[in-house]
Amino acid sequence: MIELVQVVKTFQAGLATPFTAVDGVSLSIPEAQITVLKGPSGSGKTTLLTLIGCMARPTSGRIHLHRLPGNVLPQLQAGDSVEITSLPERFLTAIRRRTFGFIFQQFNLIRGISVLENVMLPAYPTGEDHRSVEARAVQRLESLGLGRHLRASVERLSGGEAQRVAIARALINDPTVLIADEPTAHLDSRLSEDFMALMGQFKAAGKTLLITSHDPIVHGSPLADRVVELRDGQIVAEP
Amino acid sequence: MRAPTQRYRNILDFALSSLLRRKGRNLSLTGVYTLVVFVLASLIFFVQALKREARELLVQAPDMVVQRLVAGRHDPILAAQAEAIRSIRGVLEVRPRLWGYYYDPAFGGNLTVMANEHEPIAADAVWIGQGVARNMRVNEGDLISLRAYDGLPMLFLVQKILPTESELVSSDLVLMAPRDVRSLFHFPEGLATDLAITAGNPRELPTIAAKIVERFPDARPILKAELLRTYEAVFDWRGGLMVVVLGSALLSFVIFAWDKATGLSAEERREIGILKSIGWESSDVLLLKFWEGTVVSLTAFLSGILLAYVHVFFFSARLFEHALKGWSVLFPRYRLLPALDGYQLTVLFFLTVLPYTAATLVPIWRAATVDPDAAMRT
């Protein structure tokens, strides 16, 4: 479970034009469920994702990660809890690498290299054997119907295929939490529904999913366990 | 299995595939880099090889040479003065030497004609250096013709071609019997070109030289150490001059490297952002860029060294010989003995790889420490 307590994120703090993107958010995100953050552009959804995903630190407030998986940090056991806002970058990266898988709005695949290598990239710094990473990447890609595109360059893929590559990449380190930022922004309705179906499979497999979206296919999906609405950096509705 | 080295190997793998992705840019960078290493390495190899040859030449030179000056110019010395000098305390041996320069118009170079002091040579026979044999296209057993002082040809049998131990020492050498040297140059009996002096203790040489000048005011003693210093100074000066000229090339390269290697494109910055966001630390990105830089640097360094080695030791540094040798119009062509030393390579490494690394490090570090959430916002 992820727990946020009075989290504030202010950009350009101390300067003439400070901007508070997240303003006192307290939230619990349960395990093995799909939580959707919805709200208009500029409501603070993406900023909140970066804070939860250990990509940035809040200006104030606390973020607790409970029941961590094993092998995150040498000093932590599987099932331990950790408060992440005060950890140094190295530890944050290690937690991010093992705990979170990210699916970006623009997919953020690296051009010029193959689909397979893109998927393997997050595992390179872990020092895991190249062949075992490759075998896992092939298995992930095949399970997502991309087996025939392993050696293809990512520029040749359609939008839906590129997103599935991004999903395979997010899964390569076997994270417990999948974070997706506006995942259906570049997909048509059918592909958006396919995406949600896939998220349903991951939920069934025990993954925690945190998705930002203002697409009704996502926040109106019966698969979404919880929809949190944000506006101006604050939670305005939590059905 | 997670081995500590596996992380390095994985990132090296990706570094290589990254380099291949930007073939044009990296090939042009490596090409210019190789050229700079080649030019600098040629210069260093050539100057060092000349100095080494000069030192070898002087190993065989006498401790001191005494010449006679007339109106400030070198003139033949009375061989009889040898006896008087031999009586100075500390002098072991005094040998009158007979030698001179012979200009050969056929190949436009000066030959050094010398009476052999060590082993007797038959009359009308010569021992010649490799350069002379090469230029005259003769082998042992052939005849060569030299024009005497009066314009008449003198025929000599090539009895031996000197070994290539050091071509700079022997390349232009023609050894013959003393009587033949006197005939060729019309050198009067009782005179020698100079006197070669060997001392028991080299530390006494300055004192011996002072005593010689005191006794023979028209004598000019030249110490071996002075010769060595002069050679080194001349070669260093020439080398230094070239370094100044090439300095602008080096500077241009640093600017080029800065622009190419560090002027990270928007695409590269985006990629670094993606890597950070998918779990790479700043140190992983730095390692990636370090591998990329190392592959470019080492490829350029090794290629540049190899090309310079071939250029200097197999093609006699054709590109720089006029600037560095200076006397190439008169001096027969010779080949330097191939040799490398660790110190030179280290100096070269620091002259080329270090500026490149320094030029690339800071901007890469800046890009590598970009916030991982940057990728979320593109």
| CB burial readout B282-294, b (16+ within 10 A) else e | bebbbbbbbbbbe
- Indicate the residue of B1, B22, B274 with minimum beta-carbon distance to A129: B1
pLDDT digits (tens, 9 = 90+) for B51-106: 777 777 777 778 899 999 999 898 999 988 888 999 999 899 999 999 999 998 87
Q: Quick check: B187 and B181 in contact, CB under 8 A?
A: yes
Name the packing angle between helices A130-143 and B4-21 (round to 10°): 60
Q: Which two tokens stand for residue B44?
A: 């260093």
Q: How far out from the chain centre does Cα A139 lie? A: 21
Closest CA to B93 of B128, B116, B70, B66: B66
Which pLDDT value is given to residue B289? 85
- Residue B21 sits at the chain A interface (C-beta within 8 Å): yes
Q: Quick check: B301 and B351 in contact, CB under 8 A?
A: no
Report the distance separating Cα B212 and Cα B216, nearest Å: 6
Residue of B nearest to A42 (CA): B377
pLDDT digits (tens, 9 = 90+) for B1-21: 456 788 888 999 899 888 888
Chain B interface, best mutation among A12, A100, A106, A108, by max B CB count within 10 A? A108
- Indicate the residue of B274, B279, B371 with minimum beta-carbon distance to A173: B279
Q: Which two tokens stand for residue A4?
A: 């946020």
Burial class (CB in 10 A: 0-12, 13-18, 19+), B98: buried
A182 — alpha (psi -120 to 50), left (phi > 0) or beta? left
pLDDT digits (tens, 9 = 90+) for B305-318: 999 999 888 887 77
Report the distance separating Cα A165 and Cα A153, nearest Å: 11
- Residue B378 sits at the chain A interface (C-beta within 8 Å): yes
Closest CA to A57 of A97, A25, A89: A89
Which pLDDT value is given to residue B328? 41
Q: What is the mean pLDDT of residues B220-244?
A: 76
* Total residue length of chain B: 378
Least Cα separation, residue B292 to chain A (angstroms): 16
Yes or no, beta carbons of A127 and B4 under 8 Å apart: yes
Yes or no, beta carbons of A124 and B11 under 8 Å apart: yes
- Residue B6 sits at the chain A interface (C-beta within 8 Å): yes
ipTM of the complex: 0.87
Q: Rounded to 5 degrees, what are φ and ψ at A91?
A: -70, -40
Report the distance separating Cα B352 and Cα A26, nearest Å: 56
Confidence class for position B332, pLDDT limits 50, 70, 90: very low
Q: What is the mean pLDDT of residues B354-373?
A: 75
Which pLDDT value is given to residue B341? 77
Which uninterrupted H or E stretch holds B287? helix B282-313
Q: Quick check: B195 and B65 in contact, CB under 8 A?
A: yes
User: Mean pLDDT score of chain A, rounded to an integer?
Assistant: 89
- Indicate the residue of A109, A117, A125 with minimum beta-carbon distance to B7: A125
State the first-to-last Cα distance of chain B, in angstroms, to the nearest integer.
Answer: 35
Yes or no, beta carbons of B280 and A93 under 8 Å apart: yes
Spell out where chain B has E strands.
64-70, 73-75, 77-78, 91-97, 99-104, 109-115, 125-128, 143-147, 153-161, 173-176, 191-192, 194-199, 219-223
- B280 contact residues in A (CB cutoff 8 A): 93, 121-122, 124-125
- B13 contact residues in A (CB cutoff 8 A): 124, 130
Which pLDDT value is given to residue B158? 94
Residue B333 has what DSSP assignment?
P
Closest CA to B113 of B161, B182, B64, B211: B182
- Indicate the residue of B11, B21, B274 with minimum beta-carbon distance to A125: B11
Which pLDDT value is given to residue B258? 65
Closest CA to A166 of A147, A140, A188: A140
Residues of A with CB under 8 A from a CB of B: 46, 49-50, 55-56, 89-90, 93, 96-97, 102, 104-106, 108-113, 117, 121-130, 132-133, 169, 173, 181
Least Cα separation, residue B374 to chain A (angstroms): 9
Least Cα separation, residue A196 to chain B (angstroms): 21
Q: What is the mean pLDDT of residues B208-223?
A: 92
Report the distance separating Cα A173 and Cα A169, nearest Å: 8
- Structural domain including A145 reads 2-237
Edge-to-edge strands, sheet with A82-83: A19-29, A2-11, A60-65, A82-83
Q: Quick check: B238 and B326 in contact, CB under 8 A?
A: yes
Q: Quick check: B125 and B197 in contact, CB under 8 A?
A: no
Which uninterrupted H or E stretch holds B76? none
Closest CA to A127 of B283, B292, B376, B290: B283
Sorted by where each starts, the structural domains of chain B and their CATH numbers stand as 4-57+230-377 (no CATH), 63-223 (2.40.40.20)
Handedness of CA A165, A166, A167, A171 (dihedral sign): positive
Burial class (CB in 10 A: 0-12, 13-18, 19+), A41: exposed
Residue A126 has what DSSP assignment?
G
Which pLDDT value is given to residue B329? 40
Report the distance separating Cα A31 and Cα A169, nearest Å: 21
Strand partners, B199: B91
Report the distance separating Cα B304 and Cα B300, nearest Å: 6
pLDDT digits (tens, 9 = 90+) for B99-152: 999 998 877 778 889 998 777 888 999 999 888 888 888 999 999 999 999 999
pLDDT digits (tens, 9 = 90+) for B139-176: 999 999 999 999 999 999 999 998 776 566 677 889 99
Which pLDDT value is given to residue B256? 67
pLDDT greater than 70 at residue B335: no
CA angle B64, B194, B70 (to 5 degrees): 110
Give chain A's domain count.
1
Q: What is the mean pLDDT of residues B246-266?
A: 66
Q: Which CATH number goes with the domain that contains A98?
A: 3.40.50.300
Q: Quick check: A216 and A41 in contact, CB under 8 A?
A: no
State the first-to-last Cα distance of chain A, in angstroms, to the nearest integer.
Answer: 19
pLDDT greater than 90 at residue B22: no
SS3 annotation, A178-222: EEEECCCCCCCHHHHHHHHHHHHHHHHCCCEEEEECCCHHHHCCC
- A130 contact residues in B (CB cutoff 8 A): 6, 9-10, 13
Which pLDDT value is given to residue B53? 75
Distance set, CA B237 to CA B41, B240, B241, B320, B352 (Å)? 17, 5, 6, 14, 21
Yes or no, beta carbons of A121 and B371 under 8 Å apart: no
Give 10-residue mean pLDDT values along chain A (239 residues).
92 84 92 93 90 90 86 73 85 86 90 93 91 94 91 90 93 92 88 91 94 91 93 81
- Indicate the residue of B1, B274, B281 with minimum beta-carbon distance to A93: B281
Which pLDDT value is given to residue A77? 74
| Selected residue with higher pLDDT from B263 and B311 | B311
Report the distance separating Cα A188 and Cα A180, nearest Å: 17
User: Mean pLDDT score of chain B, rounded to an integer?
Assistant: 82
Which spans in A127-172 are helix H? 130-143, 159-171
- B378 contact residues in A (CB cutoff 8 A): 106, 108
Type of residue found at B274: I
